[in-house]
């Protein structure tokens, strides 16, 4: 572990004067922590159970007057717009899907797990216009569950 830390420090020292590193350091967390606090506060004001509704738009801004487009977190987004009830249902479905993918060694489960981790840092409304979230979440979940149904049908004796 110490060796990995030393290698990381040496690697950073080598690239510390590069322009892309300077830009990355200036950008920081891209207001994600402040955004999380504001959006969970809005969710709390609307009510944890039912959320604020799918047409909700916040008037609050980030530091410097930057307008907020969406929560940038798929889980906060689900809670904010549709409440804890739908968030819990989504989490249960995703957990069951990931469990079945793990049990059946389905590679789509890894795709889905990576997408869910990534969407902690960027994600808008899951329900709405067809967009990248459908490809990142709904498609792999459907692929895992489709293979599960297919395997179940193949195990059943042929009905005449």
Note whether 36 and 8 are same-domain residues.
no
- Give the pTM: 0.74
Verify that 37 and 14 share a domain, yes or no: no
One domain, residues 36 and 24: no
Phi and psi at 19, nearest 5°, equal -65, -40
Q: Are 124 and 82 in contact (CB under 8 A)?
A: no
**Per-residue pLDDT at 31:** 80
Cα–Cα distance measured from residue 139 to residue 145, given in angstroms and rounded to the nearest whole number: 10
The pLDDT of residue 135: 82
| pLDDT of the residue at 122 | 76
Extended strands (E) in 9-92: 61-62, 66-67
Domain for residue 23, yes or no? yes
Phi/psi-derived region of residue 65, left when phi > 0, alpha when psi is between -120 and 50, beta in every other case: left
User: What pLDDT, on a 0 to 100 scale, did the predictor assign at position 83?
Assistant: 93
Cβ burial 34-64 (10 Å sphere, 16+ → b, else e):
ebbebbbebbeebeeeebbeeeeebeeeeee
Number of domains in the chain: 2
Q: What is the pLDDT of residue 98?
A: 95
Its domain, for residue 46, covers 31-155
Do 111 and 126 share a structural domain? yes
Residues 79 and 107 in one domain: yes
pLDDT-flagged residues of the chain (< 70): 24-28, 126-130, 158-160
Q: Are residues 15 and 57 in the same domain?
A: no
The per-residue pLDDT for 89 is 95
Q: Are residues 17 and 94 in the same domain?
A: no
């Amino acid at each position: 572990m110490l060796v990995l830390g030393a290698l990381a420090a040496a690697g950073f020292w080598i690239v510390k004067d590069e322009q892309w590193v300077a830009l990355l350091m200036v950008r920081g967390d891209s207001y994600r922590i402040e955004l999380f606090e504001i959006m969970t506060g809005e969710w709390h004001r609307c009510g944890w159970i039912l959320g604020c509704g799918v047409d909700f738009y916040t008037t609050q801004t980030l530091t410097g007057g930057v307008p907020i487009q969406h929560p940038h977190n798929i889980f906060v987004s689900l809670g904010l717009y549709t409440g804890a009830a739908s968030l819990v249902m989504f989490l249960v479905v995703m957990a069951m899907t990931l469990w079945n993918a793990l049990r059946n060694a389905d590679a789509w489960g890894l795709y889905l797990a990576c997408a869910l981790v990534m969407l902690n840092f960027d994600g808008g409304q899951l329900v709405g216009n067809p967009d990248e979230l459908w490809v990142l979440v709904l498609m792999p979940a459907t692929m895992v569950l489709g293979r599960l149904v297919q395997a179940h049908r193949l195990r059943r004796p042929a009905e005449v």
